[in-house]
Amino acid sequence: MRHAALVLMFASAASAAPELRYTGIDQVKALAAETPAVGEARPVAGSDVITEAHILVQAGKDVLFGYADTPAQAAAAAAYWTAALKPAGVTVGAPEYKNNFFT
């Protein structure tokens, strides 16, 4: 009786688990056929291309942060991201720079 109860308990847990499926090569090929080619992407305006490393940022839960060699580079990054985020409705705080790190 005890073994039967365990079998039923594990059977119900297994039926509640998500189903794992094998993705076959035919399905992968079908997905690849639906993927747009690189040349079909929207054209990027010159101002959308980041060419300087200090403009790159990383995202935390509620903050952007990055690294810059000088306060001027940090200010340039803050100006770039403020101009990008404010029109999207994101509230932008005052930028801070200390020890080559800015938020």
Dihedral (CA of 14, 18, 22, 26) sign = positive
14-71 pLDDT, tens per residue? 555 566 677 778 887 777 666 666 555 555 565 677 888 888 899 888 888 999 999 9
Percent of the chain at pLDDT > 70 equals 64
Tell me what pLDDT residue 73 has. 93
Rounded to an integer, what distance in angstroms lies between the CA atom of residue 59 and that of residue 103? 10
pLDDT tens for each residue of 9-19 = 555 555 555 66
